[in-house]
Amino acid sequence: MLTVVGVSKRFGGITALQEVSLEVRAGEIYGLIGPNGAGKTTLFNCMTGLYGVSSGEILLAGERVHNQKPHRIVQRGFARTFQNIRLFANMSALDNVRVGRHVRTRAGVLGAVLRDRRTRAEEADNRRRAQALLDFVGLGNKARTLAGHLAYGEQRRLEIARALATEPRLLALDEPVAGMNPAERQQMRELFLRLRSQGLTLLLIEHDVKLVMGLCDRVAVLDYGRKIAEGSPSEVRQNPAVIAAYLGGDAA
């Protein structure tokens, strides 16, 4: 599904990513872990087009997506959420999700002004799908609430609904359970499993090792901008490099 080949990213003199390669297979939940500053979010931003890469390639289902504009990557079916929730705070929850449909709808200025039958059908469809997505993440009764007024956990879920609205094949989640209590974490976990059962491939950046280990099919570990391990959670857990770099210091 997603292939990263030898990607490096330098900011000025600092090398944030060095020759990172990994492969996310269709239908799996893939975890990307590593200590703070290991380059997880940088890699994420490279994948989703917010940063260009300094060298290397990123392929989505065989097609080049590195150094592409973000909207092109979304169009190809790769959606994301943000670590520090970036909703359109002053739009309603429903409108947030409707914005997510932008890339799958077509109405332009003429359609907006004339509101012809096609546009009306599209808008109705858009509204229906957006409401369905809100129902799916459990925010069905908050459609009219402003995104900025939602509770923290609800905002996380709204971000996922918004990303789902772009009809992705691959959904990348940047620390989706950060700051949540155990009950909320469990809810999210169930949500991820439901998403996978619907055929979606998930890429998960997490700090919470327990969640990743219990949920992911395969895991890659980044440290100082390099991939130091990749494999099933149990393999990775026993990798000495990982224990030294991360588990040994942090979560033991």
Report residue 246 as tokens: 């991360």
Of 9, 66, 98, 129, which one interacts with another protein (CB under 8 A)? 98
Name the minimum Å distance from CB 11 to another protein.
6
Question: Cα separation of 106 and 111, whole Å?
Answer: 9
Q: Is 15 in the site for another protein (CB under 8 A)?
A: no
Binds another protein (CB under 8 A): choice among 105, 169, 196, 243: 105
Q: Give yes or no for residue 87 binding another protein (CB under 8 A).
A: yes
Give the strand pairing for 55-60 and 29-33.
unpaired
Whole-angstrom CA distances from 194 to 84, 125, 188, 189 are 24, 23, 10, 9
Contacting another protein within 158-187 (CB under 8 A) = 162-163, 165-166
Q: Does 217 bind another protein (CB under 8 A)?
A: no
Exposed e or buried b for every residue in 150-159, given b needs 16+ CB within 10 A? beebbbbbbb
Neighbours of 216 (CB within 10 A): 23
- CB count within 10 Å of CB 31 equals 23
Q: Is 151 helix (H, G, I), strand (E, B) or coil?
A: coil
Q: How many residues bind another protein (CB under 8 A)?
A: 47
What is the smallest separation between the CB atom of 106 and another protein, expressed in angstroms?
A: 8
Is 86 in contact with 41 (CB distance < 8 Å)?
no
User: Which of 32, 95, 170, 225 lies at the binding interface for another protein (CB under 8 A)?
Assistant: 95
Could you say which of 89, 121, 124, 151 contacts another protein (CB under 8 A)?
A: 89
Which residue of 74, 150, 158, 213 would you call a contact of another protein, by CB under 8 A? 74
User: Number of C-alpha atoms within 13 angstroms, CB side, residue 177?
Assistant: 22
Taking the CB of residue 142, how many other CB atoms lie within 10 A of it? Answer: 20
CB of 86 to another protein, least distance (A): 4
Q: Please name the residues in contact with 167: beta carbons below 8 A apart, sequence gap of 6 or more.
A: 77, 104
Contacts of range 194-198, beta carbons closer than 8 Å, 24 or more positions apart:
195/164, 195/171, 196/27, 196/28, 196/29
- Give the nearer residue to another protein in terms of CB position, either 4 or 79: 79
Of the candidate residues 8, 10, 15, 50, the single one contacting another protein (CB under 8 A): 50
* Residues in 126-145 at the binding interface with another protein, rule: CB under 8 A: 126
Binder of another protein out of 9, 17, 31, 45 (CB under 8 A)? 45
Could you give phi then psi for residue 16, rounded to 5 degrees?
Answer: -90, -30
- Does position 13 interact with another protein (CB under 8 A)? The reply is no
Based on CB atoms, which residue is closest to another protein, 12 or 199?
Answer: 12
Residues that bind another protein (CB under 8 A): 11-12, 45, 48-51, 69-71, 74-75, 79-80, 82, 84, 86-91, 95, 98-103, 105, 107-109, 111-113, 115, 119, 122-123, 126, 146, 148, 162-163, 165-166
